[in-house]
């Protein structure tokens, strides 16, 4: 899978520019597909970041972690605590979240990376479940258990107090006076997404990235050439943990609430899904996968029988009824079913995800694909 | 002493469920080399066989309630009761034992269909792909069950005769240790199933071939034995074991559609602790972790180590994986 394509610097810059334009103009084009509202766009960006980071570990090294939701949760909690204790400004919150999740990832990664394959997966799963169970039970003073951690008006916020910043109404995250809700919140996430993409691009093209790919293709051979894979693996694990922490922080910024359910292992499963759906080991794939899943989640789950009836209005009555009966289990509450089925189909017939699909379609038309994501 | 014995007993029913699921997982991994994340879904489906049977038996008609004379009152009465009176009522009461009989062919079919339809295309793919595709299958299965039975837990009752508790303490000359009859039956049933599986593998020719195939698949194939077909049947057997564990568990825990996922994670931990591919290891680790879990839920221990009951299973798994990577009874 990992073909080495000579890619010029100019093309990378073009790719980055194209990516930035698409992301920044999202509020314009997303309206045409019915996704033009800030809540959903924020989710695209946040989960895009999460998936990019996850891909740096799973896509490059092939180590399947089932515990990345823990870092997401840690990032969220750190951000909310920064809002509670320091200031509503997002800069310290983001820095704190990334730092703490990095520390977390360092410890978990150091232990988990002693094993490979299924054992590695189970170890990360075990650590994530421990974090989740503890966040739900004994760590309630820190996590506020089942209720979730909220930002309150009368929290100390020492930095804000020292600078004399007053909070009117319910406290909202801000960036030097700009309140980060709605579209301003989205643009903040979008800028970080572009930054995250840029870093990921650099890693893909760097000697460090090459070594990660080497670990995936043949770890033993890499050891024989005189490289110790462990430090590279650990770095990749920590970096992807930092991405997850950043995503968790953004989640708490656009909606100042952190709950333990973000850390459950099924949440880790979701990011695996996104990465696979988009295309493992590709640059853009994870973002596309994340956006697709979040889009389906929001759009599909809002469909009900009436909407379907309208959609099939043009058909004869009996056929319309038939179509509604066939499709209705897959939308609304049943969108998980669609997700599971889609996921199986992707793994079975298109292991390279949507990016491979695009490439095949492009190959059909006999030209080279514009967006070559492969390193 | 009483307290310790009580905790061991409490741990046994969870432990037996873990052991049964882990046994199936290990069988599949040992024979087919497939990591099956849909195994928890099989446990869940087994539980819903019991729900389905109970629903079928209690299909009801609206009849006039003659005990109320002031106005026309109606109540739902199952047809079985209308037709056969007390006999019908007894049949309904024994819904769970009946479902056990129903579950065996149903789960066998489900297992065979799963292996033929999906799993066999993944023998040659790596573990990550196997995990992912079966994870997708688990989501699909649980959503289908949710579509049919709804999202809420559905209570299923054990037969009246065994709905009470038994004073187990008097056997050991201790006071005040009672234990629900059904859990005792569950324990006995599980031991019988585990014993049956081991006997099947060790005392039949079929089992001998399967064990040989686990050891060296290619060699057995070269001897002219169609090992693939036998492995398919082993997969069906594993599905039956998981399904029966689920069916019998329903009176202990009202089944809902995502119960499989909860048990799956723990069973994987159990399998890994026992040693991937080691059947006795899986069973031993299942009992061990179940008992440890209930032991660490004692207030005396929680007072010293708050929260330990929530993480003990995972903690043990992490330590074992780091110290003894092949698990308790795994071979190198």
Q: What is the pLDDT of residues A83-105, one digit of tens each?
A: 888 888 889 999 999 999 999 99
Give the CA distances from residue B25 to residues A347, B130, B198, in Å, rounded to whole numbers and listed in that order.
21, 13, 15
Q: Are A284 and A110 in contact (CB under 8 A)?
A: no
What is the pLDDT, as a whole number, of residue A332?
Answer: 67
Could you tell me if residue B332 is inside a domain? Answer: no
SS3 percent helix, strand, coil of chain B, rounded to 5, is 70, 5, 25
Decide if A341 and B136 are in contact by the 8 Å CB cutoff: yes
| B286 vs A170, more confident | B286
What does the mean pLDDT of chain B come to?
83
Could you tell me if residue B150 is inside a domain? Answer: yes
- Say yes or no: B324 contacts chain A, CB-CB below 8 A: no
Choose among B268, B269, B311: nearest Cβ to A133. B311
Helix H or strand E segment including A257:
strand A257-258
Residues B305-331: tens digit of each pLDDT: 777 777 888 888 888 888 887 777 776
What is the pLDDT, as a whole number, of residue A55?
Answer: 94
Residues B243-269: tens digit of each pLDDT: 999 998 888 888 888 888 878 888 888
Could you tell me if residue B71 is inside a domain? Answer: yes
Whole-angstrom distance, CA of residue B21 vs CA of residue A321: 42
The answer, yes or no, to whether residue B11 has pLDDT greater than 90, is no
- Bridge partners of A90, per DSSP, are none
What is the pLDDT, as a whole number, of residue A106?
Answer: 95
DSSP 3-state assignment of B38?
coil
Could you tell me if residue B70 is inside a domain? Answer: yes
Could you tell me if residue B328 is inside a domain? Answer: no
Whole-angstrom distance, CA of residue A126 vs CA of residue A115: 13
Choose among A121, A123, A344: nearest Cβ to B140. A344
Helices (H), chain A: 9-24, 26-29, 38-61, 68-85, 90-112, 117-136, 140-143, 158-163, 182-205, 207-217, 219-224, 229-254, 265-278, 285-300, 305-311, 317-327, 335-349, 353-364
What does the mean pLDDT of chain A come to?
84
Chain A residues whose beta carbon lies within 8 Å of the beta carbon of residue B307: 133-134, 137-139
B188: which 2 tokens?
């006995």
Among residues A75, A81, A68, the alpha carbon closest in space to that of A144 is found at A81
Q: Are A263 and A132 in contact (CB under 8 A)?
A: yes
- Interface contacts A/B by beta carbons within 8 Å: 102
A215: which 2 tokens?
């670990």
- Say yes or no: B318 contacts chain A, CB-CB below 8 A: yes
The single residue listed with the structure tokens 């990235």 is A209
What is the pLDDT, as a whole number, of residue A236?
Answer: 95
| B257 vs B77, more confident | B257
What is the pLDDT, as a whole number, of residue A154?
Answer: 76
Choose among A126, A340, A351: nearest Cβ to B136. A340
- Say yes or no: B176 contacts chain A, CB-CB below 8 A: no
Among residues B178, B181, B177, the alpha carbon closest in space to that of B159 is found at B181
Chain B residues whose beta carbon lies within 8 Å of the beta carbon of residue A134: 307, 310-311
Q: How close A130 comes to chain B (CA, Å)?
A: 5
- Say yes or no: B49 contacts chain A, CB-CB below 8 A: no
- Domain assignment of residue B113, given as a range: 2-323
Residues B130-178: tens digit of each pLDDT: 888 888 898 889 888 888 888 888 888 888 777 777 776 666 666 667 7
Q: How close A64 comes to chain B (CA, Å)?
A: 7
DSSP 3-state assignment of B157?
coil
Q: What is the pLDDT along chain A (375 residues), one digit of tens a residue?
A: 444 455 678 888 888 999 999 888 888 888 888 777 888 899 999 999 999 999 999 999 989 898 899 999 999 999 999 988 888 888 999 999 999 999 999 999 999 998 888 888 888 988 988 888 888 888 878 888 777 888 877 777 777 777 777 766 677 777 777 777 778 889 999 999 999 999 999 999 999 998 899 888 888 888 898 888 899 999 999 999 999 999 999 999 888 778 788 888 778 888 988 898 888 888 899 999 999 888 888 877 777 666 766 777 777 777 777 777 777 777 666 777 888 888 888 888 888 888 888 888 888 887 555 554 444
Could you tell me if residue B78 is inside a domain? Answer: yes
Could you tell me if residue B193 is inside a domain? Answer: yes
Could you tell me if residue B331 is inside a domain? Answer: no
- Say yes or no: B311 contacts chain A, CB-CB below 8 A: yes
Q: How many domains would you assign to chain B?
A: 1
| B179 vs A18, more confident | A18
Choose among B133, B136, B317: nearest Cβ to A122. B317
């Amino acid at each position: 899978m990992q073909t080495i394509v000579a890619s010029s610097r100019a093309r990378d810059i073009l790719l980055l520019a194209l990516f930035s334009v698409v992301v920044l103009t999202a509020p314009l084009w997303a309206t045409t597909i019915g996704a033009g509202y800030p809540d959903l766009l924020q989710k695209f960006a946040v989960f895009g970041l999460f998936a990019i980071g996850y891909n740096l570990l799973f896509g490059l090294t092939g180590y399947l972690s089932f515990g990345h939701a823990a870092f997401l949760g840690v990032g969220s909690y750190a951000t909310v605590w920064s809002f509670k204790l320091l200031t509503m400004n997002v800069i310290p919150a983001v820095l704190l979240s990334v730092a703490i999740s990095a520390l977390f990832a360092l410890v978990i990664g150091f232990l988990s990376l002693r094993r490979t394959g299924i054992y590695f997966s189970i170890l990360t799963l075990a650590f994530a479940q421990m974090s989740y169970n503890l966040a739900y039970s004994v760590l309630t003073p820190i996590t506020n258990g089942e209720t979730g951690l909220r930002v309150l008006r009368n929290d100390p916020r020492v930095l804000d107090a020292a600078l004399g910043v007053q909070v009117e109404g319910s406290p909202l995250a801000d960036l030097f006076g700009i309140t980060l809700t709605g579209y301003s919140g989205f643009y903040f996430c979008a800028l970080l997404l572009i930054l995250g993409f840029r870093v990921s691009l650099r890693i893909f093209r760097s000697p460090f990235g090459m070594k990660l790919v080497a670990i995936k293709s043949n770890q033993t051979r890499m050891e024989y050439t005189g490289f110790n894979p462990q430090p590279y693996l650990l770095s990749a694990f920590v970096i992807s943990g930092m991405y997850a922490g950043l995503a968790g922080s953004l989640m708490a910024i656009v909606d100042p609430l952190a709950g333990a359910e973000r850390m459950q292992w099924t949440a880790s499963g979701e990011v695996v899904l996104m990465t696979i759906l988009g295309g493992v080991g590709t640059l853009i794939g994870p973002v596309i996968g994340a956006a697709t899943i979040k889009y389906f989640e929001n759009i599909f789950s809002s469909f009900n029988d009436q909407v379907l009836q309208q959609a099939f209005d043009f058909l004869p009555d009996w056929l319309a009824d038939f179509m509604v009966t066939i499709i209705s289990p897959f939308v609304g509450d049943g969108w998980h079913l669609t997700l599971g089925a889609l996921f199986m189909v992707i793994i079975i017939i298109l292991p390279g995800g949507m990016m491979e699909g695009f490439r095949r379609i492009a190959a059909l038309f006999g030209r080279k694909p514009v967006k070559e994501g492969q390193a | 002493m009483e307290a310790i014995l009580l905790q061991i007993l409490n741990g046994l029913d969870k432990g037996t469920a873990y052991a049964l699921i882990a046994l199936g997982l290990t069988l599949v991994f040992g024979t087919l080399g497939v990591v099956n994340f849909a195994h928890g879904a099989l446990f869940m489906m087994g539980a819903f066989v019991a729900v389905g049977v109970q629903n079928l038996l209690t299909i009801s008609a609206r009849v006039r309630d003659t005990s109320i004379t002031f106005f026309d009152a109606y109540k739902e009465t199952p047809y079985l009761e209308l037709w056969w009176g007390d006999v019908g009522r007894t049949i309904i009461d024994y819904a769970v034992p009946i479902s056990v009989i129903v579950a065996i062919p149903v789960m066998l079919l489900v297992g065979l269909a799963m292996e033929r339809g999906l799993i066999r295309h993944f023998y040659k793919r790596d573990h990550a792909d196997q995990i992912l595709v079966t994870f997708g299958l688990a989501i699909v299965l649980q959503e289908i069950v949710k579509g049919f039975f709804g999202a809420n837990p559905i209570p299923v009752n054990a037969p009246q005769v065994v709905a009470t508790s038994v004073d187990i303490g008097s056997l050991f000359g201790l006071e005040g240790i009672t234990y629900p009859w059904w859990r005792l039956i569950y324990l006995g049933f599980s031991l019988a199933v585990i014993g049956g599986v081991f006997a099947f593998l060790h005392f039949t020719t079929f089992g001998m071939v399967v064990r040989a195939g686990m050891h060296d698949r290619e060699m057995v194939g070269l001897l002219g034995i169609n090992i693939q077909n036998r492995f398919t049947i082993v997969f069906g057997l594993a599905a039956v074991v998981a399904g029966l564990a689920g069916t019998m568990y329903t009176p202990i825990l009202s089944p809902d559609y995502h119960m499989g996922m909860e048990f799956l994670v723990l069973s994987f931990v159990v399998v890994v602790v026992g040693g991937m591919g080691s059947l006795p290891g899986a069973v031993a680790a299942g009992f061990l972790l179940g008992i440890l879990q209930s032991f660490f839920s004692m207030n005396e221990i929680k007072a010293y180590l708050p929260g330990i009951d929530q993480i003990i299973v995972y903690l043990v798994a992490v330590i074992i994986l780091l110290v003894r990577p092949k698990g308790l009874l795994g071979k190198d």
